[in-house]
Structures are given as structure tokens and as C-alpha cells.
Amino acid sequence: MADGKTHDAITYFTCIPLCLLANFLFGVNIAIVFTLAYVFSGLAFNGDLDIESKPYFRWGLLRFIWIPYRRFGHRSKWTHGFLRGTLTRLLWVSPLILALFILMVYLNGFTVVMNIITTYWYLIIAFIIGLEFGSMSHTLADISSSAWKRFVYKTFGIRIVPSFVKWKKK
């Protein structure tokens, strides 16, 4: 599996090309929302919230909400699966989303909030797609890293381990 620094680097290096592509295809507003969601997902809303990891600690005082989420187990289909992982995390934070919605209704009125949602629905969709792309980049990095390490071990008999441990021969 790729480590936290690798995941962060992948997120940072791929966000600009993805933003430019989204801007070219869909316009600047969608590109900005998509990219912000992609970076947020890559850094703080990915499958590694099921362990004590960088994304977990980035939630600061709110990280307690992810403690029960860790019961799914690391790399389970509910935390690292395509679409399913993002959907699980969105459902997990849905009480926070509902609280934000209620606060917005309280401050602005139901009609105003619903007008905003119906007017800018496409930005909500872009945000959700950005979350999924960030999660997919994380999962693909894990899969490709594991495949590479397995290939090197089976081909050359070298086990690739974290940098603080020396490489081991068969």
C-alpha cells in the first residue's frame, strides 16, 4: 500500500491537470468545485479514515465521528470500494450535512435554501463526483502500489518495505 506522503503527493500533482480538464469540458465554476472536492477527498475524506492516519487526524476536533467508522475494518469494501466507499462516508457524515441544512434554513428560510439548491444543483453533483475521484485516486494508488510490490517480490525476491526498514532478500 502507498503511504500517506504518496497519497498526498498524488492528490497535489493530479489536481491541477484535473482542474484544467474540468475547466475545458464544463467551465470554471464546475472545475473549481470539482477540484476542491477532489483535494478534500484525497487529503481528508478517503478510505484511510478507517485507521489512525493522516486523513483521520486532519479532522482535528471532529475526528471522533470516525471512531465508530473504523469498525468496518481497514480496506473493507465499505471504506475502499469504488462508489461504495464514498457513499458510505457521505452517509456517515449525513447528520452533519443535515445540521448544516437546518442551520441554513433557520438563517435564510426554507424557500431561499431550496432556490439555491435547485439553482446550483450541478455544483452539488460536481462536488460529489470530485469526492469520488479523490477516493478513486486513493484506492487506485493502493492497488497499483501493492501490485508493484508483489511483482518485485515474485520476480526478484526483494520485499519492498517502508523506508525505515532495510530491504530483505528471500
- Residues 21-65 have pLDDT tens digits of 999 999 999 999 999 999 999 999 988 888 888 999 999 999 999
Phi/psi region, residue 122 (left: phi>0; alpha: psi -120 to 50; beta: rest), is alpha
Instruction: Answer yes or no: are the C-beta atoms of 47 and 131 closer than 8 Å.
Output: no
The pLDDT of residue 155 is 87
Asked if residue 170 has pLDDT above 80, the reply is no
pLDDT band at 18; cut points 50, 70, 90:
very high
pLDDT average, residue stretch 146-150? 85
Instruction: Answer yes or no: are the C-beta atoms of 69 and 50 closer than 8 Å.
Output: yes
The pLDDT of residue 167 is 47
The pLDDT of residue 163 is 56
The pLDDT of residue 165 is 47
Burial of 105 (0-12, 13-18, 19+ CB in 10 A): middle
Can you read off the three cell numbers belonging to residue 125? Answer: 453533483
| Residue in the block written with cell 470554471 | 28
What is the tens place of the pLDDT at every residue in 81-133?
789 999 999 999 999 999 999 999 999 999 999 999 999 999 999 999 999 99
Asked if residue 162 has pLDDT above 80, the reply is no
pLDDT average, residue stretch 69-87? 86
